[in-house]
Structure 1
Amino acid sequence: MTVPPMPRILLVEDDEVIREATQMALERYGFPVDTAADGLQGLERFRARRPDLMLIDVMLPLLDGVGLCRRVREESSMPILMMSARGEAVDVVSGLEAGADDYVVKPFEIAVLVARIRTVLRRTGPTAPDTPVLAAAEQAQTVPSAVRVIDDLAVDTDAMEVTVGGEPVPLTPTELRLLLEFTAAPGVVMERQTLLSRVWDYSWDADSRVVDVHVQRLRAKIGAGRIETVRGFGYRLRRIR
Structure 2
Amino acid sequence: MEFSFPPHRIAVNVPDHATLLAEVEARMRRREGFALATINLDHLVKLRHDPAFRIIYAAQDLVVADGNPIVWLSRLARRPVALVPGSDMVEPLALAAQRAGVPVALVGTTGAALSAAAGVLRARVPGLAIAAQIAPPMGFDPQGAEARRILETLAASGAGLTLIALGAPKQEAFAALGREVAPQMGFASIGAGLDFLAGTQARAPGWVRALALEWLWRMLSSPRRLFMRYLRCGLILPGQMLAAWRLR
What is the TM-score of this pair, normalised by structure 1? Answer: 0.31
Q: Which has the larger radius of gyration?
A: 1
Answer 1 or 2: which has greater strand percent.
1
Structure of higher RCO (CA pairs closer than 8 Å, 6+ residues apart)? 2
